[in-house]
A = this chain, B = another copy of it.
């Protein structure tokens, strides 16, 4: 029977030009390769080479066969690759979100509910990309700030979040009951990266210099040691508690208070039932 390994040898001979060179590339002996090529001709029932006593070349048949073999080998590789890719996607639950906070609650629960699955998360300000990803299978769950319109998608509420300033108690505005973003514009502020749509909200503070600190411990140290204002949200505080030496002041700008929704494909409803139940609990 024709086998892929034989075709690989044929292709090696095509690219190397001699049995010696090809056999070295294939890490087998010349006699082995010589025999394989004869066997291949037998299997095709067709002469593939012109042979002189110390020279072997592909003839027209051989060139065609080798070219087609090369394609076939590529496709065989693609076959395993696609199977692996499918398996990976079956073992991965991709979650996209427009803001990081909901993810902090959702991701650990997903890990607990679907052990063995890789939870892949993405934070982006682009809600359109998330909806698109839901539809084409790129995401299984998406946390949005509104209900998606696309057919085939459903969603459940996932609570709300309200942006606040986190000011040192010594800050001049620390006593305010409510502030506008513009009130602190021009100062230097501490910020986490990957804020999702919040990054868009902060465009209302064009004069502000943001110091971005990704590392969690370092961020906490900066908060404690510096007198730089920062942001927090009601949701973060409910989860992490208050920060010593800092006071929380709500922001009254439009768009700083949002409702979240977790969207999913209707066809995934059963598969994701456990996760959606957890979402409901958090939504309260």
**Cβ < 8 Å to B, chain A residues 37-54:** 43-48
How many copies of this kind of chain does the complex include?
2
A86 at the interface (CB under 8 A from B): yes
| CB proximity of A270 to chain B, nearest CB, Å | 16
Contact present for B80 and A43 (CB under 8 Å): yes
A residues bordering B, Cβ < 8 Å?
Answer: 1-5, 43-48, 60-61, 64-65, 68-69, 72, 75-76, 79-80, 82-84, 86-87, 90
A105 to B43, CA, bound (A): 38
CA distance A75 to B4 in the complex (A): 12
CA distance A217 to B283 in the complex (A): 100
B79 close to A68 (CB less than 8 A)? yes
- Given A2-B76, A5-B1, does the pair A82, B60 have CB atoms closer than 8 Å? no
Alpha-carbon distance A4/B43, docked complex (angstroms): 14
Rounded to whole Å, the gap between the CB of A36 and the closest CB of chain B is: 14
A128: shortest Cβ distance to chain B, in Å?
A: 29
User: Are B75 and A61 interface neighbours, CB within 8 A?
Assistant: no
* Residues A60 and B4 in contact, CB atoms below 8 Å apart: no
CB pair A45 B76 closer than 8 Å? no
Q: Measured between alpha carbons, how far is A218 from B68 in the docked complex, in Å? A: 51
Residue among A3, A47, A82 having the largest count of chain B Cβ atoms under 10 Å: A3
CB-based contact A72/B68 at 8 Å: no
State how many angstroms separate the Cβ of A197 from the closest Cβ of chain B. Answer: 35
Alpha-carbon gap, A5 to B5, bound state (A) = 11
Given contacts A61-B90, A72-B76, contact A46 B83 (CB under 8 A): yes
A60 to B83, CA, bound (A): 9
A72 touching B79 by the CB < 8 A rule? yes
Chain B, residue nearest A75 (CB): B72
